[in-house]
Amino acid sequence: MSLPGFDYRAPVTIEEAVALRLELGADALIMAGGLAVVVLLRERLARPAVVVSLSDIPELQAVAVNGGLRIGATATHAALARSKTARSIAPLLCEACGHVGSPAIRNMGTLGGSVCHGDGASDPAPALLALDAEAIIAGPRGERRLPLVKFFLGALTTALNGDEILVALHVPRPAAGTQFRFIKYTATSAEAFSTVTVAVSITRDGAGVCSNARIGLGSVAPTPLRARAAEDLLRGNKLTREIIAAAAAAAAACTNPSSSAQGSAEYRRDMTEVWVRRLLAEMPA
């Protein structure tokens, strides 16, 4: 593999990384686990003068409970899949991270890298959307927080400005009794990108009426999606067979898939309906 020449910097604090980002501007390419970055370099899709690695910043690797869950941007998928701290608040996210690619990909790839890459086929992103996660972003003007649902703007395009880095993801503590379901459905190998990924979070009151619903979808649009129309149908209702069927159809209707080795656009849309229906139907009342 031949890569173009570049300088390499490895700041050890967030402040240093933000200062470097500001100083180098478009000459810098931020690197976390490097899985996507190496492809960008190898294919000459990016020609940075300097690669700025975030790997030596301990604060970015930390996973901590602080009311909700704060996940440092460079926590790896493997670390999150086995983290008891993460599981105590966000078992849905741990499950999603455990299904990313192969063990080697999970060991190298980071949650922040997956989110910042902005790939519609990310498996953790639907889980983060179903958990109502926020991005915590650092830049020269300080820190800002952005709901993840506003972070994904288009294919491989996010709301991160050129002088900012993602420092963490915040997952709020779910309401008591909230139920979660996740599926990464692949038509080929379990290590391949999905045909469709579905993450569901449902809260019901004592009478079984749905008080909150969030459905995240992956691999069925240029960005990870929230199936808002489906959520609206569930909220305020019991999860009857009819309501579940209507919500599953609404989820499929909000997709905009493309065809690939993982399935045709039609198949992906159909499987979205199938999996949203199945995940909702299997939740005990």
User: Which residues of this protein are in contact with ligand FAD, per CB under 6 A?
Assistant: 29-37, 54, 73, 100-101, 105, 108-110, 112-114, 116-117, 122-123, 160, 165-166, 193
Six token digits for residue 47: 């020609």
Nearest approach, Cβ of residue 135 and ligand FAD (Å): 9
CB of 238 to ligand FAD, least distance (A): 33
Give the CA distances from residue 22 to residues 46, 163, 208, 251, 260, in Å, rounded to whole numbers and listed in that order. 18, 5, 52, 41, 38
Strand partners, 213: 202
Residue whose CB is nearest to ligand FAD in the complex, by number: 113
3-state secondary structure of 53: strand
Give the shortest CB-255-to-ligand FAD separation in angstroms: 17
Q: Nearer to ligand FAD by C-beta: 105 or 283?
A: 105
**Spatial CB neighbours of 38, under 8 Å, sequence gap ≥ 6:** 1, 3
Do the bridges between strand 134-139 and strand 142-147 make them parallel or antiparallel, or are there none, so unpaired? antiparallel
Taking the complex as a whole, the smallest distance from the CB of residue 56 to ligand FAD amounts, in Å, to 13
Both structure tokens of 124 = 């953790």
Which of 198, 200, 197, 202 is closest to 239 using CA atoms?
A: 202
From the CB of 20, what's the least distance to ligand FAD, in Å?
A: 12
Q: Could you give the 3-state DSSP secondary structure of residue 63?
A: strand
Phi and psi torsions of 100, nearest 5°: -75, 120
CA distances from 79 to 110, 121, 180, 182 (A): 9, 21, 20, 19
Beta carbon of residue 203, minimum distance to ligand FAD (angstroms, whole number): 26
Instruction: Supply the minimum distance, in Å, between the C-beta of residue 155 and ligand FAD.
Output: 13
| Matching residue, tokens 């690619």 | 101
Place of tokens 């992906």: 268
Residues 57/14, Cβ–Cβ less than 8 Å: yes
